[in-house]
Structure formats: C-alpha cells, structure tokens
C-alpha cells in the first residue's frame, strides 16, 4: 500500500459521499410525495424513509471518520521509513473505531440533511393542509395568489422559473442551484464577493455554505407548472 493509492481511494470515497448527499435529497423528495398523497398521519412509509435517511447519515459519518483517521495516520508516517507503512492499516483501523465509538445517535439526528428532511416534511404538510383549506373557500383571490407565487418562483439570476431552488439561510432569498453555484465560483475565482442578486437585499457576501436545496419549494414549483399545464 502506498500513500498515493491511499489518496486515490480517499477521493473515490469523497465522491461516494457526494452521491450519498444526493441520495438523501431523493429520500426527502419521496417523503414529500407521500405527504402530498396521504398526509403525514403516522404513515409507516414515512417512518421507513426516516430510518433510511438516518442510515445514510450514519454512512456519511463513517466516511468522515474514515477520512479523518486516514489523514491523521498518514500524516504520522509521512516522514518515517517505508516500514512504517506496514502498520498503517491497523493504526487507521484502530483510530477509525475510536472515532466511530464517539458517534452518538444525536450526532446522526443533527446531520443537516436529516434536519432538512424533518423540516420539509413538516413544512409541506402544513402547506398542503393550508391549500386544501383555501380550496374549500371561495377562490376569489386565486389570480392574485398565482401571480404572487409565480414571482416567487423566478430566479433573480436567470429570470426564469427555478428548477432546483436553493434557499439562502442568511437572507432567505432563493436562486436556482446551477446558476448560483456557477456565479459564486466565478466571483470567488476572481477574488470577489458574490452579492445577493435579489433587489434591495443587503447581503453582500453569499457563501456556498449559506445555501440549501429547498425541496418543498421545488415541489411547489413543479405542482404549479403541472397545474398551469406547461409540463
């Protein structure tokens, strides 16, 4: 085993981790579909999905612990004679077990995507309940509501309806994922800050870590599209 092969394994693992994140978003999206179809009253399917997302959270933790233990242990042997490499496997294993033993259930629950899962299920159930109640009332304000929601669905960068809306946790504005990530990357490459493009917003330094995919919003946009018949 050489250090370079260790590094390439680590980078493969990191791309697995990115896929895992996408997988967690997908689980959340399926959960929203269930809420939409049958509400959230003690749905066994919803419970199952929650177990799945916690399992993903655990895998994500495992990868982090593994990467951390490899980083620590390879740093230690880097300047030692090649024989030291022989023990690398065991020392990584030991350190990994140590780190994993420190992972609690609360840590798994705290994972940002687990939190997002719960938030979006709750938010979407409320939203669905609300619009059902509104539908029972007279639909006088419908036109106004549609115009309002349409403007909210427009990305301030692309000026078209968003596909993957990302919410800025700091100023609460929305942008389409692809456009905003590209923009931030381009600005940062030129050593410039990226200012929130929403008119009147005072947020002058938007970081990628401030942004979070909003699956509830995504679903609302999809439903709106379907209703207005431009699928």
Which residues sit at the interface with Zn ion, rule CB under 5 A?
A: 171, 173, 196, 198, 201, 203
Tell me which DSSP letter residue 40 carries: S
Residue 203 in tokens: 């947020």
We find the least distance from the C-beta atom of residue 170 to Zn ion, in angstroms, to be: 7
CA dist., res. 87 & res. 212, Å (int):
41
Closer residue to Zn ion, CB minimum distance, 44 or 202: 202
We find the least distance from the C-beta atom of residue 195 to Zn ion, in angstroms, to be: 9
Tell me which DSSP letter residue 1 carries: -
We find the least distance from the C-beta atom of residue 206 to Zn ion, in angstroms, to be: 7
Where is 113: in which H helix or E strand?
A: helix 112-136
We find the least distance from the C-beta atom of residue 199 to Zn ion, in angstroms, to be: 9
Closer residue to Zn ion, CB minimum distance, 61 or 198: 198
Q: Which residues are CB-contacts of 178 (< 8 A; sequence separation ≥ 6)?
A: 163, 164
Closer residue to Zn ion, CB minimum distance, 46 or 155: 155
Closer residue to Zn ion, CB minimum distance, 164 or 168: 168
| End-to-end C-alpha distance for the chain, whole angstroms | 53
Closer residue to Zn ion, CB minimum distance, 72 or 210: 210
Residue 230 in tokens: 């431009």
Among 102, 124, 117, 100, residue whose Cα is nearest residue 51: 117
Among 49, 5, 216, residue whose Cα is nearest residue 126: 216
We find the least distance from the C-beta atom of residue 187 to Zn ion, in angstroms, to be: 15
């Amino acid at each position: 085993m050489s250090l370079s092969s260790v590094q390439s394994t680590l980078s493969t693992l990191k791309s697995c981790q990115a896929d895992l994140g996408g997988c967690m978003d997908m689980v959340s999206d399926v959960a929203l579909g269930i809420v939409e179809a049958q509400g959230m009253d003690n749905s066994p399917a919803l419970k199952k999905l929650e177990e799945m997302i916690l399992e993903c959270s655990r895998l994500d933790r495992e990868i982090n612990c593994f990467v951390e233990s490899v980083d620590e242990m390879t740093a230690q042997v880097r300047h030692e004679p090649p024989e030291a490499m022989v023990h690398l496997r065991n020392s990584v294993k030991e350190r990994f077990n140590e780190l994993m033993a420190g992972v609690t259930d609360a840590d798994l629950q705290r994972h940002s995507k687990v939190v997002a899962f719960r938030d979006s299920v709750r938010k979407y159930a409320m939203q669905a309940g609300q619009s059902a109640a509104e539908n029972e009332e007279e639909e006088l304000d419908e036109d106004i509501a549609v115009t309002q929601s349409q403007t909210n669905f427009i990305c301030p960068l692309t000026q078209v309806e968003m596909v993957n809306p990302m919410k800025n946790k700091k100023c609460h504005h929305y942008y389409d994922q692809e456009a905003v990530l590209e923009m931030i990357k381009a600005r940062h490459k030129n050593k410039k800050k990226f200012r929130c493009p929403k008119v009147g917003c005072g947020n002058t330094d938007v970081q990628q870590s401030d942004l979070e995919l909003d699956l509830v919003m995504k679903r609302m946009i999809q439903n709106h599209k379907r209703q207005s018949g431009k699928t």
